[in-house]
Structures are given as structure tokens and as C-alpha cells.
Amino acid sequence: MQLICKIFSIQNFKHFSANSISFLRYSLWCLTLFCLSACGGSDQADSAAISPVSGTISWRASDNPVFPVSTAAAEGFNESMLEQGYNAARATPGLFAVLVLRRGRLVGEAYFSGRKSTDLLHLRSVTKTVISHLIGVAISQGKIQSLQQPISELLPQRYRVLLHGKAPITVADLLSMRSGFAWDESTLAGFEHWVMSADPTRYVLEQAQTQLPGTEFRYNSANFHLLSVILNEQTGMATRDYARQVLFVPLGISNFRWEKLKDGYDNGGAGLELTARDLAKLGVLWQQQGRWGSQQVLNQAYVMTSASVQQPRSRTFAGLSISGYGYGWWLFKQSSQPAGQLAWGYGGQFVMTIPEQELTLLLMANNQTTDVGPQENAVMQLATQWFLPAVQ
């Protein structure tokens, strides 16, 4: 139960901005945390079914410069279920956006809480999924030899000495969060001590290694930050610039922000902001195994590998049957339905792809600091109750 709490509760405070938190807010959050139960994401945390509110909401896709549009009927959805799902979404606190796409066509789109399609939204830990695929590109370009290359060969020289005396850690160990470092993100302090440190890269590398790498999953945002540092070192450009060159430009993404930590590197664990439509582009890219239009933007073999179970993790979350963790992905399988992938950010930033159904589902919620567990459950409940079953 303790391990489940660490992995699935409140997303372990791993997504706060490093530069926007004052000491006063930090103290208030600590007080709030003290007052909350130790494991807000226990098996009892699944929320009850959400009923649609009366009235209608405008959700059917309209012409836009980003996606071709289609109708629910044409793309094989139960339109009544989508209608009910969007009306239930309107009643869900903290929700910002819901986009439904099939075969790369936008079928449904709605924004809430005053948000609009041009707003930049925090991805939080969905950033990890982006980092994973940038690593895949770097491997295909020969900038990183393989998933099994030791990170002691890839980090800047000033950090390599900190790995002396530790068992070798590979790129794959970081991607699957099995680096072996002593780590605990189940509290606000556990994350803040790292992200607010003067040198977050040094901070994680100085931690004791309590497990052999590759043997035990331990949620660790700093693992993905190390991957951002590696990308910077091996490509000769900041992670954001590498992402712009190899990923964002091919997809027509120009408006984004990426948080930089005090060590001078872009936060690989939770720092990226995109519009909902641009994040949906990434979802479609992943769902199509790295293909965008006629261009193979990502290496197909890597996309498929990243979405394979590296660490089994069995749990039902708000009706979603999670089966394990891949490389930056949570993986799920709904009874007799095809397998899918979930990118999961703090507070309920969810990108769900089911390649066999050619389905991409995006739900974006507020990365607030309180009631996060119930909010995440409520947002995921929309997916499992209405949007996923709407596929015919």
C-alpha cells in the first residue's frame, strides 16, 4: 500500500514551478500537507460517476488552422455519449480542456474555466513523455549510442565524478525510473528540496544508491531532468532548442514555454507548457507511432518500445486498469479493449492514445496545490465513463 501511495497519489508534488513559489506559499503548502491524509490516492479515492448537467455545450469540432475536422458519426463514436461526456466535463471543477480525435481528425473540443485554444497550459509530468521521445530521436541520430549506454559517458564532465562508486546507471534506467537512487516524492518537501536546490543535477547525483539500477521502480522526476541534461550535453543545444528543431517545427508548434532550473538546464521532469491543440498534435504523433502526415518524425521502433511495459504496475485508477510503466508512459488495458498509453501530469493533464483504435484523447486540468487526488480522479472518470466507451 505504501508503494502504491508513492506512485499514484497526488502525483507526488512533482510538477510545481521552481521559480514561482515563494517561501510563504511553501510554508502554507507544508501546513496543508500536514493536515491531509498520508495517502490521498488510495483504492478508496476513485470518484463516483459524474452525471451530465442539464443544457448543452458547444463541443463539436469547427474549422481551425490546426486539424482537419470530422463528425462523431463519421469517425465511429456514439455521439450521445460524447454529448453527455462534454456536459459532465462542464460540471467538473478544475478542468480546462477536452479534445477528442480519431484518425488524426478533430471530432470534439471544448474549453472551461475561461480557458481558450490559444492559452499555454502546464503539462507538468507529461513533459516526461516528451523527453522520452526526444531521447529516441537522439538515439536515432547517433548522439546517444543506445538505451543501454551508461549515463556516466553522457553527462557533462563536472557531474560524472559524482557517479564514482555507484553501480552503472543506463539511459533506460532513467527512462523507466529505476535508477536506484534513494528518493521520495510522496511529500511536497521531497520534490521541493530537489527542484529548489542550487544545482538540481548535482542534488540527485549525490543521493545514495540504495537499489541496483534496473531493479526497482521509484517515481523520480529528477531522473528525467538528468535526461534533459544529457540531451543538452550530447546535442550541443538546450533541450527546448533541440525539441524545437526535431519535434516542434515538423509539427508546426511555435508557441511554448519551458522552465529552466537553477543548474541552467530545462526542467525535464515537469517544465513544458503548450496549447491544448499543440499537445494534441503530440498525442496524434504518438498514436500514429511517430508519423505526422507523410513524415516519420519519430523512430517507429522507439515509439513502440517506449509504450511497452518495463515495470509491471497493476492498479485501477478511476476505472482505468493500469498495467505498468514504460519509458515516460503509464500503460493501460481495459478488459477486452486494445492497449493504450497514458501521459499523466499533476492535477489531471492526461494524454491518452490507443493506436489500434486510432484514438487520441486529451483532458487538461489545473495543476493546483490542494484536492489534487479527487480532481485527478474526477477528470479520469470522464474518460473511463464517457469518452473511451464512446468508441464504437
Residue found by looking up cell 479527487 in the block: 374
pTM of the entire predicted model: 0.87
Task: Render pLDDT for 278-305 as a digit per residue (tens, 0 to 9).
Answer: 999 999 999 999 999 999 999 999 999 9
Instruction: Give the SS3 label for residue 168.
Output: coil
Write out the three cell numbers for 262. 537553477
Q: With beta carbons less than 8 A apart as the criterion, state whether 103 and 95 touch.
A: no
Please work out, in degrees rounded to the nearest 5, the angle formed at the alpha carbon of residue 125 by the alpha carbons of 122 and 126: 75
**Those residues with Cβ within 8 angstroms of residue 59's Cβ, 6 or more apart along the chain or in another chain:** 82, 83, 86, 98, 108, 109, 110
Please work out, in degrees rounded to the nearest 5, the angle formed at the alpha carbon of residue 231 by the alpha carbons of 226 and 237: 130
Low-confidence ranges of the chain (pLDDT < 50): 1-47
* pLDDT value, residue 51: 63
Q: With beta carbons less than 8 A apart as the criterion, state whether 302 and 136 touch.
A: yes
Write out the three cell numbers for 194. 530537489
**How far is CA 279 from each of CA 212, 214, 225, 352, rounded to the nearest angstrom?**
35, 30, 20, 11
Residue found by looking up cell 469547427 in the block: 62
* Nearest Cα residue to 122 out of 210, 190, 9, 20: 20
* pLDDT value, residue 189: 73
Report helix, strand and coil shares of the chain as percent, to nearest 5. 40, 20, 45
Q: With beta carbons less than 8 A apart as the criterion, state whether 344 and 149 touch.
A: no
The CA-based dihedral angle spanning residues 245, 251, 256, 257, taken in that order and rounded to the nearest 10 degrees: -40
Write out the three cell numbers for 353. 492514445
Burial of 53: CB neighbours in 10 Å, binned 0-12, 13-18, 19+: middle
The identity of residue 271, as a single letter, is G
The correct CATH number of 43-124+256-387 out of 3.10.310.10, 3.40.50.720, 3.30.70.270, 3.40.710.10 is 3.40.710.10
Please work out, in degrees rounded to the nearest 5, the angle formed at the alpha carbon of residue 31 by the alpha carbons of 27 and 35: 165
Distance CA 233, CA 54 (A): 54
* Nearest Cα residue to 291 out of 279, 306, 303, 280: 303
Task: Render pLDDT for 199-236 as a digit per residue (tens, 0 to 9).
Answer: 999 999 999 999 999 999 999 999 999 999 999 999 99
